Amino acid sequence: MRVGIGYDSHPFAKGRKLILGGVEIPSAKGLAGHSDADAVAHAVTDAILGAAGLGDIGRMFPNDDPQWKNASSIDLLNKAFLKVQQAGFRFVHADVTVILEQPKLAPHLSAMAECLAHALGADSAHISVKAKTNEGMGWIGRGEGIAVMAVATLTGPGGAV
């Protein structure tokens, strides 16, 4: 069994869609970034790549490469997952915590889990997505951006699920 950790953060920006876990969430502002800035997909991607020892999202999809500009990060997660599979690993489980003040994500968490599960060839029962505020503290509390933490477990080559 392998465990990987992923972290991501993005600043809010006006005139951008808010895409989290592949789901477009109604919001006055979205997140700035080279791709669609889906910080949830980015953190999960880093978690599975970390568990497989395959580096990180920035090395696999460099943000100065025009082919990834405005890319769908759920598609990037799926591409990373295919590399993880090719290396002989199987996805078991991911647990995600999104930290932001607004908007409230509770109505969207199950759709995010479904979308992430689809990219990982998994059942959504194997993906946990949670959201919490930062209790008004610091840059997250001021609504300047969001942070996401994720862990993922994989079985190693030859391992049984």
User: Which residues bind to Mg ion, rule: CB under 5 A?
Assistant: 8, 42
Cβ closest to Mg ion, residue 41 vs residue 111: 41
Please report how close the Cβ of residue 58 comes to Mg ion at its closest, in angstroms.
Answer: 8
Please report how close the Cβ of residue 74 comes to Mg ion at its closest, in angstroms.
Answer: 13
**Owner of token pair 């968490």:** 109
Tally of residues, the chain: 161
Gap between the Cα atoms of 17 and 27, Å rounded: 8
Please report how close the Cβ of residue 49 comes to Mg ion at its closest, in angstroms.
Answer: 13
Cβ closest to Mg ion, residue 42 vs residue 108: 42
Gap between the Cα atoms of 107 and 129, Å rounded: 12
Please report how close the Cβ of residue 147 comes to Mg ion at its closest, in angstroms.
Answer: 10
Closest residue by beta carbon to Mg ion:
42
Strand, helix or coil for residue 135: coil
Cβ closest to Mg ion, residue 2 vs residue 42: 42
- Burial class of residue 70 in the structure, from the number of CB atoms within 10 Å of its CB (0-12 exposed, 13-18 middle, 19+ buried): exposed
